[in-house]
Structures are given as structure tokens and as C-alpha cells.
Amino acid sequence: MNTTELRQKDVAGLKTEVKALQKAHFGLRMQKATQQLNNTSVLRSTRRSIARAKTILTETIATNQAKQGAK
């Protein structure tokens, strides 16, 4: 999922996306531990996707708080 798709989501949607990515990353780590994972570069990309989603979530929360404070 790219950043434009993530930025269109609300806070709840971003939280569910982060949780889903973390669950997928856990599954990949288990596959690696049992030597079932052939392409280990997927671990890096999911870790970066989690970081990207968390960053956009933090930005969205900060923007919402700034809007609340301005009112």
C-alpha cells in the first residue's frame, strides 16, 4: 500500500492497517525461523511498510489535534 492510499484513511483505518501489517510481519518471521521463507527481502519491505503507516498515523493524529485546538 503506497502513501497516497494510506493518507486517505482515517485514524481507525490506519490503526487496523498497522495491526494487519504487524500480524503479517510476525507470520513472515515465523516462516523464516522454520526455514520456510525463501525471499527474506519481504521482511524488510513489511517492516518499512509498518514504519510508513505509523508515521502517517502520527501525522494524522497531530493534524487532527491541531484542528481541534484551533476551534
| The predicted structure's pLDDT at residue 45 | 97
* 6, part of any domain: no
pTM exceeding 0.85: yes
Report whether pLDDT(71) > 80. no
Alpha carbon distance 35, 59 (integer Å): 37
- pLDDT over 90 (residue 69): no
Q: Domain range spanning residue 33?
A: 12-70
Residue 48 lies inside a defined structural domain of this protein: yes
Distance in angstroms (rounded) separating the CA atoms of residues 18 and 36: 24
Write the DSSP string, 30-45: HHHHTT--S-THHHHH
| CB-count exposure of residue 37 (10 Å: 0-12, 13-18, 19+) | middle
Which tens digit of pLDDT belongs to each residue from 14-50?
A: 999 999 999 999 999 999 999 999 999 999 999 999 9
Residue 1 lies in a domain: no
Cell 495491526 sits at which residue?
19
Q: How many domains does the chain have?
A: 1
